[in-house]
Structure 1
Amino acid sequence: MTRTDGAGAKQTFSWFVLGLMSSVTFVGILSELVPSGILPQMAADLGIDEGDVGFLVGVYALASAIFAIPLVSVTLTMNRKLLLLLLLAGFAVSNFVVAVTSSYQIMVAFRVLGGLCAGVMWPMIAAYGTRLVPEHMHGRAITVIMSGNTLGISIGLPVMTMIGVTFDWRAAFAVLGLIVVAIAVLAYFYIPSVKGERMSKTNSPLAIIRMPAILIVLLLTFLSVVAHYGIYTYITLLVQMLDLVGGIGFALLIFGIGSVASVILSARFIDAYLQPLIITALTTGGIAMVLFLTFPGSLIVSVIGFFLWGLAFGPLVTMYQTAVSRQIDEAKDVATSVQSSVFNFSIMIATFIGGLLLEGFLGSFDVRGVVYLSLGCFILATIVASMSKRTLRSA
């Protein structure tokens, strides 16, 4: 069935259009993370510390977190297609400049540019997608669009790392820039144009964060992100603790398979079963942590644990952006920008707390302490989700 929204865009579920939008989130996450895969090569060639290369990832995420809300608010009235093309141009320029410059300061500046584009892109593209489909398919649309994030981490990053290691680290950024340009060309011809929206007192960031339902989703976002990224940041240490045959590469492969599988499943069930999906994902993540703690020397159990963890991780972004978008009818970009900022800040907090646990500032812990942190957050989030039936309502 096809119908038209107030902006004039026909609402149908087009796998091609939404798949093209997922390629935007694919290059968005790769633009952020690609330095982490080629960190030694960049450090050696540029003559800087590996920590300085790591900062290129951190400053990107920091720019996204800090400026997402104000930039989304400022650009709310812009045509969505025009804004998307400008953001893709920003991603392309950011990657191309890093590929050719030898100045670390210039790299930092253009990584900030990429982070600013990402800060607008993540909340904008989800809201954009929901305006192209019927209301009862909003969750599926967001799932398809955000699947690019999961595929970028599980497939794209290893491929970009291989390119950087096999050829040259600059080649990885150049190839990524070319991919962004190709996506922009396709977006220009095939993604429908949708008008922007006006900011009002009822859909401003301050008004949105006063809504109890939004606060519940933000709390769930915080707990879930700390649960996942607290240990994901130190996944290499976890693999060492488990003494996993095949090492980090094998662990990420199993994790990626689980993530992709869960994205496919969540696309099918998220609209009709949002709360059960969230509870199931949180419970599955908690079970994975229990397996890691209880059977650290078992290959089979470790494989099962990484697969279950991947299942829990796959729909992480989708679940809560869908939940947020259901709380308001207008300016969904603003609401999802608030959720996106909380998401990014939660990653930083998770990494910080995990580091304190590893350094012994919070007691005599090794990586097990970080796993316990994740388990505790999974349990708390499951309790909150179980008590939030009205907020996590189905379509």
Structure 2
Amino acid sequence: MSVTNSTVKAKDVFPWLIMILMSSVTFVGILSELMPSGVLPLMMADLNINEVQTGNLVGYYAIASAIFAIPLISLTMQYNRKMLLMILLGGFAVSNIAAGFMHNYMIIIVLRVIGGICAGVMWPMIAAYGMRLVDEKHHGKAIAVIMAGTTLGISLGMPIMTSIGNSYGWRTEFIGLGVVIILIAIISYFALPSMPGERLTKSSSPFALLKIPAVLIVLLLTLLGVIAHYGVYVYITSLVDEIQLSGGVERALLYFGIGSLISVLLAIKYTDKYLRLLTVAMFALLIISMSLFLFSSESSWIGHFAFFLWGLSFGPLVTLLQAAVSRQVETAKDVATSVQSSVFNLSIMIASSVAGLLLGIYSPMSLVYLAIGLSIPGLIISIISKKALGPQL
């Protein structure tokens, strides 16, 4: 009895240091995925490829994540969570360091696919891993803290890595990230608690989850929100050039990052109680920020403010959607979040491809119109989805 009570007490105390360490994993995970976006011109020149091919370095990574997430999460459910994370971090490190030494575009694509496969397993697994370490009332907070790494990666990591890439070359950027991932893996090996896997049952299978209406609503919101955001973000350098923003992409990412940091702090505090309100606000802010880009060429401060508002919208994206889908199941949350993660990554691939096609035909402002067009139905669905997102608004 005393052992049970101590376990309950331990879970009731929120393990900040463990969650922050897990957040560092998502930090390097998002950098591994998006780094090519900040150094598109450098990679185009060095590898002698066009803009769409460079965008595919993000797109193929994302589609690998989408394709392999559900089957690999299902296959690895029974394995110890900590040991699985060590393998995934090793995959991230190898794919980035090796890419930094390669000069053949197709080999780099293969390495990006390997990284994408690791990401496809890591994103849903680490969220569920963290939730199992805390009491149910802290599940939203656990996801918010762990996924804050994605926001920090975009807001702080991307500007830093882009600066390193511009100063020392994109290869140094990739190799440097690989070394950081190895350091995080070593710390995680000694600091993270061991956690056994779970058995996969028929009731918790991906196909069973897809029969739940609330899960389908969350997946639709994922599709709309991710394509809207990433369709613009993958080609952020093209947007900055189009509106002739003072300070360039580094200044844009700075304001974007400040907004993201503010919103992720709000998500940590309020996701468990106000999930639907935050989701509605996310889509509303995206519409407002994209609308401001249409007028930003007239004044730099409008452009900078638009990037700030976009960051406010972008910051809690992963947290809100993963928290929403995890609410729909009692067990095997890894599988639930893997389904959402697959749709998330598939949406990034679609965003990269569609945005690349639009960019080849129209100006970068077409991506802004795409984001607005997808955000409006997302906003409406969020407002009316009481069962999927909760009654509080």
> Shift in Å at residue 133 of structure 1?
1.1
Structure 1 residues 328-387: Cα deviation after superposition (integer angstroms, max 9, x where no partner): 011111111111111111122233333444445xxxx64443322212222211110111
Alpha-carbon distance in structure 2 between the residues aligned to 1:356 and 1:39: 16
What code does the residue aligned with 2:201 have?
Answer: S
Which residue pairs with 1:370 in the alignment?
367
Contact 1:92–1:177 (Cα < 8 Å) also in 2:
yes
Q: Distance in 2 between matches of 1:124 and 1:390?
A: 25
SS for the counterpart of 2:386 is coil
- Distance, in Å, in 1 between the alignment partners of 2:43 and 2:74 is 36
Paired residue for 1:393, among 383, 390, 393? 390
Q: Which amino acid aligns with 1:128?
A: Y
Asked if structure 2 preserves the Cα contact closer than 8 Å seen for 1:222 and 1:343, the reply is: yes
Shift of 1:276: 0.8
Which has the higher mean CA deviation after the structures are superposed, 157-166 or 264-273? 157-166
> Following the alignment from structure 1 to structure 2, what is the Cα–Cα distance between the partners of residues 193 and 344?
28
Q: Write the letter of the residue equivalent to 1:369.
A: S
The one-letter code of the counterpart of 2:66 is A
Find the counterpart in structure 1 of residue 164 from structure 2. 163
**Preserved CA contact (<8 Å) 2:286 2:375:** yes
Q: How does 1:5-84 map to 2 (within 5 A)?
A: 10=11, 12-46=13-47, 52-84=53-85
1:326 aligns with 2:323: no
Structure 2 residue 117 is the aligned partner of structure 1 residue 120: no
Aligned equivalent of 1:4: 7
Shift of 1:28: 1.0
Match of 1:220 in 2: 221
Output the CA distance in 2 between the equivalents of 1:290 and 1:50: 25
The structure whose residues are more often helix, as a share, is 2
Deviations 1:235-267 (CA, angstroms, capped at 9, x unpaired): 334334434322332222111110111111111
For 2:105 and 2:374, locate their aligned partners in 1 and report how far apart those are by CA, in whole Å.
37
The 10-residue stretch of structure 1 (35-44 or 309-318) with the greater mean CA deviation from structure 2: 35-44
Q: CA deviation at 1:194?
A: 1.1
Q: Specify the SS of the correspondent of 1:202.
A: helix
What is the CA distance between 1:140 and its match in structure 2?
1.0
CA–CA separation in structure 1 for the residues paired with 2:157 and 2:296: 31
Aligned to 1:379: 376
The answer to whether residue 300 in structure 2 is matched with residue 311 in structure 1 is no
Deviation at residue 58 of structure 1 after TM alignment: 2.8
| Residue 281 of structure 1 pairs with residue 282 of structure 2 | yes
* 2:389 maps to amino acid: L
Q: Does 1:111 align with 2:112?
A: yes
Instruction: Describe the superposition over 1:276-331 as per-residue Cα deviations: whole angstroms up to 9, x where unpaired.
Output: 11111211111212223356413333222221111001000110000001100111
Q: Deviations over 1:194-243 (max 9, x none)?
A: 11111111111111111101000001111111221222233334334434
Give the whole-Å Cα distance in 1 for the aligned partners of 2:246 and 2:166: 23
Shift of 1:83: 0.6
Letter aligned with residue 390 of structure 2: R
Distance 1:239 1:40 in 2: 13
Percentage identity across paired residues of the two chains? 56
Q: Distance in 1 between matches of 2:45 and 2:352?
A: 25
**Partner Cα distance (1:249, 1:95) in 2:** 22
C-alpha displacement of 1:13 = 1.2
The alpha-carbon distance between structure 1 residues 52 and 296, as it changes in their structure 2 partners (threshold 3 A), is closer
* 1:27-49 alpha-carbon deviations (Å, 9 max, x no partner): 11112222343444445555666
Matched length: 388
SS of residue paired to 2:294: helix
Map 1:204-219 → 2, pairs under 5 A = 204-219=205-220
> What's the offset of the Cα at 1:170?
3.0
The letter for the 2-side match of 1:4 is: T
- The residue type equivalent to 2:108 in the other structure is M
Q: Over aligned residue pairs, what C-alpha RMSD do you find? A: 2.4
SS at match of 1:390: helix
1:291 alignment partner in structure 2 = 292
CA pair 329-394 structure 1, distance change in 2 beyond 3 A:
farther
Aligned to 1:195, the other structure's residue is in SS state: coil
| Matched position secondary structure for 1:197 | coil
| 3-state secondary structure, aligned to 1:352 | helix
* TM-score normalised per structure 2: 0.91
1:4 is paired with a residue whose SS is helix
- Between the aligned partners of 1:11 and 1:77, the Cα distance in structure 2 is 26
With 191-200 and 370-379 compared, the bigger mean Cα shift is at: 370-379
Q: CA deviation at 1:111?
A: 2.3
Which amino acid letter does the alignment assign opposite residue 184 of structure 2? I
For residues 131-180 of structure 1, give each alpha carbon's deviation from its aligned partner in whole angstroms, at most 9, with x where no partner exists: 11111111111111111111112221222233333334332222212211
